[in-house]
Structure 1
Amino acid sequence: MTAVAIVLALAGAVAYALAAHVQHAAVRTACAPGRGRLARLVRQRRWFGGLLLIGVGAGLHSAALGLAPLSVVQPLGVLAVVLVAALSAVTARRWPGGVTLTAIGATTAAVGGFVLLTSGQARDTVISDVAIGRTALLAAAGVAVLGALAPLVRGRARCLALATAGGLAYGFVSVSTRVVVQRLLVGGIGAVPVLVLVGLVVALLVGGALIQLGYASGPPTVVVACLTMADPFFAVLVGAVLLGEGAAMSPATVAGQVALALVAAGGVVLLARFHPDAAPRPARDGGEPAALPGGSQSPAPTGDRAPAGGENAVSRGDKAGHGLPAGVPGAGGSNGSRTTATAPSRTREQTVNGGDSAARRIVVGADTFVPDVNGAARFSYRLATGLAARGHEVHVLAPSPDGAAGVSMMEGVFVHRVRARRTPFHPTFRFCPPWQASAAADDLLAELAPDVVHIQSHMLIGRALSVAANRHRVPLVATNHFMPENLFGYLRLPGVLHDAARSAAWRDAARVFHRAVAVTAPTQRAVELLQENGIEHAEAVSCGIDLDRFEARRAPDAEVPTVLFVGRLDAEKRVDELIRALALLPAALPLDVELVGTGSRRDEWQRLAADLGVGDRVRFSGFVPDDELPAAYERADIFCIPGIAELQSLVTMEAMAAGRPVVAADAMALPHLVRNGDNGWLYQPGDVAGLASRLGMLAADPQLRVRMGAAGRRRVEQHAVPATLRRYEEIYAQVLGERVAEPALAA
């Protein structure tokens, strides 16, 4: 009878797999946008076919449970996940990847080995009323504990607790089904205890509710894996321990069962995480919207755009590491309910600004984001808000500036903050632990199913999103703002280690950027730097500048001209050279310096200014909000940028837009902006006397300052931010396989 039971259980697994596959297709077809989705669904022949297959599978599985021990029949149900993965690959007409094939092979072999090992030694016992009562108490206790734990945790942990509790309830359903079949075969319907039937129905309802709550609390991958493992493992454990099916098993058999069960569990986790239906993708070009966990539909966010001028809190900490605001596709409260939130309103069929570019759902990954004060953070902000203003739905994943996870709206952009920690080497910079960044990235992509992911670095957030994007088959675009020199000042590495550290850093960057379909950098020099370090497929796209914010007004007449620096006060910015140059200027050429920004070297450079006798002429203004920066450029006469690790330098472009002459280090991308003798002067890094000479020339000649400032304004106009946004829209279209015009901007 055991052999017959195995055949019946295998046939039941096939029926369940076919039912899942058929009903999934029916739900996707019926749940197109519009009303009457349920009516369309019940008219689907495939949906009814799926119901019929579920009934067939349940009947076959129940018959198998009546003919063989639980520990033989239940593990075979795991093969349904294997079959679903195989069917999905066949339907999609693509050969499964290496991970999927490995998982299919490992799971099938482990389940087969478990059943063969168990079938020869498991005892076929009759389940007594006492045994079923104990099983009910055990299942109820497990469900109660996990159900009580779920509200106390968040994100994946909550999803794990709810899905496992649902699996335990379904495990009790399997045990109850075996009792019902045994009693029917012996004494007919009258021999079946009413309490067992009631318990079976209650367990079905409770298990179903818990599974749906699990879908509402986290990724479907977690639910699929928990349900597939918890149900059979509970039934096997009950059969072996409470029902006496394992009484005759030797220690070697038990050890083999445990090992094979672990292999099968690992295979199920891989299949749940990587099979084609694990991460629903959005349809393109007016197709059906992405399905959410549990078969629900992804509604387009509705409402007006949040007002500009601040970051307005929507929710905090509902999801592991990032949270999702209510009203965002895939978001739900702690009980799975939805509340309203404002977001850019659009559908997949809409176009951007009435043009040819389709509105997209875009995830921007930024390891530094406003309120951080640096070029990469400000570019990420301008990119995200600029794309949102053009009609796209934009989500930013970034570290939290205060350490706490949450989601907020910022000028029409959903900003998902990941829990972050302070670093010992910088007063304001925070980093996300890799495991939290990875969980946040994976959850966000699983729930949003974006069209494109655009990372701004290869660091923790960027790295996590690059892996998640490849896993979920979302096209990845990467922009590099990094140079190893950006880190040397923080880490205080000895000079002899710089070359080795630089090579290691570039190799690490290349590993991440090779996952991208398209790679960009702000200037041609920055592209060359990538190519020199093994990243060949790169394109220059200017960071862009909002010219309307900076007017080329004449500097106010002042007795003493002012030199302005804007940026981080960190080692690679070399602001100490500016302070030393100020001290070299003769008394006949008085000059003041204003330093806007903060950083790890501020105290050191304040002491330097005092030691050189120019402390009263150097003003440390600290952090200045972005909306106050234009005023800082306006009150300055000259702009100085001594840094040697500038891949483009947004602040230099802002100074040029404001009509200020620039004195810059002749390093990296700065010569692409500053033409010597035209809109400013270049000097060799480290040549403090040369820097002092250039500053003195401008301080002594107001007309030269005006002429060079006007030239800078003309030169920077080619970097207007609309051109940058258009080019990135074209790149997104290209990575999605759409035809676009030739590049609009290559700076």
Structure 2
Amino acid sequence: MSVVFACVDADTLGGVQQVTHTLAQGLAERGHEVHVIGLHRAAAPFRYVERPRYHHHVVSRRTLAEPGHVLARRRADRRLKELLRRIRPGYAVMTSPSVVARMSRLLPSAFRPIGQYHGSYDHASACWHLGSIKKHYPALDQAVFLSEDDAWRFAEHALLPNARALPNPLPVWPEEVSALQAPRVLGVGRLEGVKRFDRLISAFARSDVPRPWELHLIGDGAERERLRAHAAGEGVGDRVVFRGLLPAACLAREYLDASIVCLTSEHEGLPIVLLESAAHGVPSVAFDVSGGVRQAGSVLVPPGDVDAFAAELARLAASAAERRRLGADARARAEAFRLDHVLDRWESMFAHIDR
């Protein structure tokens, strides 16, 4: 049996894409025939796996942002159907409501359809996602969510009889942990509005964490210059360091050089940054926006409460002992997200579907 993962765009920098390539490589290394399909070309492709053991396909040469037309969509659908016909029967993992809505009707009958959702129930209910999930996911063999809390809420409130929790995996398990001595707060992610790094900068400024503490932001995006101006306006322009986009292989060093990791997104499912920081023994402060964040975060504050965030940031910066306690607890909890454990759960789900 083969395993197909399909994304709207499989190669842009993002959590969905990182998880997809991690799972694809892990399952391929276990002997499965694995295919990753991007329905659209990435405008700026990011390489997640240096030596992939899975097959990779891009259906449309257009990026998601480029205008399309009905004929182009039909041609792309024909290419997708032809591609699927050439792949051995197996499981088709569709990674978002958009992919499920488009692709499930094109699947050959030999494929067992599985729909993922990488967000939280709260985020889905605040936008069009919940309606699409209610419409399309009940007919699938399995609907997969990132936490037990979210799976339960979708089952109860969206009336999904096929809901199941499967967490995001850690790509690797580090043997080395941070000493938690460097005066550095770390934020990792796309510099886009939904990540709300402006709130993190404001919290860092209001925390009155003394020099030589700095806030390092790793990532790039459309908000970079606005965030730089915001840092200057908050009086911390010389202490907020914009590091840009780094290769995935370099991130381990960044966690080892950090003492606190922060997450201020408007919404998240199960953020990889919290799992990776926890695995490196680094405590985190995060807005309590989902069951996944509650699984992985060290210190949670009410969503959007910048003053509460600043207070917790100051508390951790002032106490190396508290950082060590929370970091050790985070690493112990992160064991459940090691890749082999998560792959075992995927294979268990495949066996359950076959029964």
> Please, what TM-score do these two structures have when normalized by structure 2?
0.88
Q: Could you tell me how far apart the structure 1 residues matched to 2:121 and 2:74 are?
A: 24
1:533 deviates by: 2.8
1:538 deviates by: 0.5
**1:463 to 2:101 alignment:** yes
**1:574 to 2:214 alignment:** no
Specify the SS of the correspondent of 2:270: coil
Kindly indicate whether the alpha-carbon contact (under 8 Å) linking 2:122 and 2:290 is maintained by their aligned counterparts in 1.
Answer: no
1:574 deviates by: 1.8
| 1:477 maps to which of 83, 94, 114 | 114
1:524 deviates by: 1.4
Specify the SS of the correspondent of 2:97: coil
The 1:551–1:535 alpha-carbon spacing in structure 2 relative to 1, beyond 3 Å, is farther
**1:369 to 2:7 alignment:** no
Specify the SS of the correspondent of 2:55: strand
Which AA in structure 2 matches 1:479?
Q
Which AA in structure 1 matches 2:54?
V
Which AA in structure 2 matches 1:730?
S
Partner of 1:655: 277
Output aligned runs, 1:215-364, within 5 Å.
Answer: 360-364=1-5
Specify the SS of the correspondent of 1:645: coil
Which AA in structure 1 matches 2:22?
R
Specify the SS of the correspondent of 2:173: helix
The 1:437–1:703 alpha-carbon spacing in structure 2 relative to 1, beyond 3 Å, is farther
| 1:635 maps to which of 250, 257, 267 | 257
1:542 deviates by: 1.4
1:598 deviates by: 2.1
**1:620 to 2:261 alignment:** no
Output aligned runs, 1:652-731, within 5 Å.
Answer: 652-669=274-291, 670-674=293-297, 680-731=298-349
Which AA in structure 1 matches 2:179?
R
1:418 deviates by: 2.2
Which AA in structure 2 matches 1:566?
V
| 2:148 maps to which of 503, 511, 524 | 524
Specify the SS of the correspondent of 1:620: strand
The 1:386–1:588 alpha-carbon spacing in structure 2 relative to 1, beyond 3 Å, is closer
Q: Could you tell me how far apart the structure 1 residues matched to 2:274 and 2:31 are?
A: 29
Q: Could you tell me how far apart the structure 2 residues matched to 1:735 and 1:434 are?
A: 31
Q: Could you tell me how far apart the structure 2 residues matched to 1:513 and 1:603 are?
A: 40
Q: Could you tell me how far apart the structure 2 residues matched to 1:563 and 1:711 are?
A: 19
Specify the SS of the correspondent of 2:238: helix
Specify the SS of the correspondent of 2:36: strand
| 1:380 maps to which of 2, 20, 25 | 20
1:529 deviates by: 4.1
Structure 2 unaligned spans of 5+: 67-71
1:660 deviates by: 0.3
1:381 deviates by: 0.6
The 1:546–1:423 alpha-carbon spacing in structure 2 relative to 1, beyond 3 Å, is closer
* Identity value in percent: 27
1:438 deviates by: 2.2
1:422 deviates by: 4.1
**Bigger proportion of residues as helix:** 1
1:517 deviates by: 0.4
1:434 deviates by: 4.1
Specify the SS of the correspondent of 1:419: strand
Output aligned runs, 1:518-557, within 5 Å.
Answer: 518-531=142-155, 532-549=157-174, 551-555=176-180, 557=181
Specify the SS of the correspondent of 2:341: helix
Specify the SS of the correspondent of 1:577: helix
1:373 deviates by: 2.2
The 1:435–1:562 alpha-carbon spacing in structure 2 relative to 1, beyond 3 Å, is farther
1:686 deviates by: 1.9
CA RMSD for the aligned pairs? 2.7
Partner of 1:512: 136
- C-alpha distance after superposition, 1:46-68 (max 9, x if no partner): xxxxxxxxxxxxxxxxxxxxxxx
**1:565 to 2:187 alignment:** yes
| 2:213 maps to which of 591, 606, 620 | 591
1:587 deviates by: 6.3
Q: Which one has more relative contact order, counting CA pairs under 8 Å at least 6 apart?
A: 2
1:706 deviates by: 1.6
Kindly indicate whether the alpha-carbon contact (under 8 Å) linking 2:23 and 2:169 is maintained by their aligned counterparts in 1.
Answer: no
1:554 deviates by: 1.3
Kindly indicate whether the alpha-carbon contact (under 8 Å) linking 1:361 and 1:392 is maintained by their aligned counterparts in 2.
Answer: yes
Q: Could you tell me how far apart the structure 1 residues matched to 2:16 and 2:29 are?
A: 20
Q: Could you tell me how far apart the structure 1 residues matched to 2:285 and 2:236 are?
A: 20
Q: Could you tell me how far apart the structure 1 residues matched to 2:348 and 2:26 are?
A: 15
**1:441 to 2:80 alignment:** yes
Largest Rg, 1 or 2: 1
Which AA in structure 2 matches 1:383?
L
- C-alpha distance after superposition, 1:609-651 (max 9, x if no partner): 1222212111122222111111111111101111232111111
Kindly indicate whether the alpha-carbon contact (under 8 Å) linking 1:486 and 1:572 is maintained by their aligned counterparts in 2.
Answer: no
The 1:451–1:424 alpha-carbon spacing in structure 2 relative to 1, beyond 3 Å, is closer
Which AA in structure 2 matches 1:362?
V
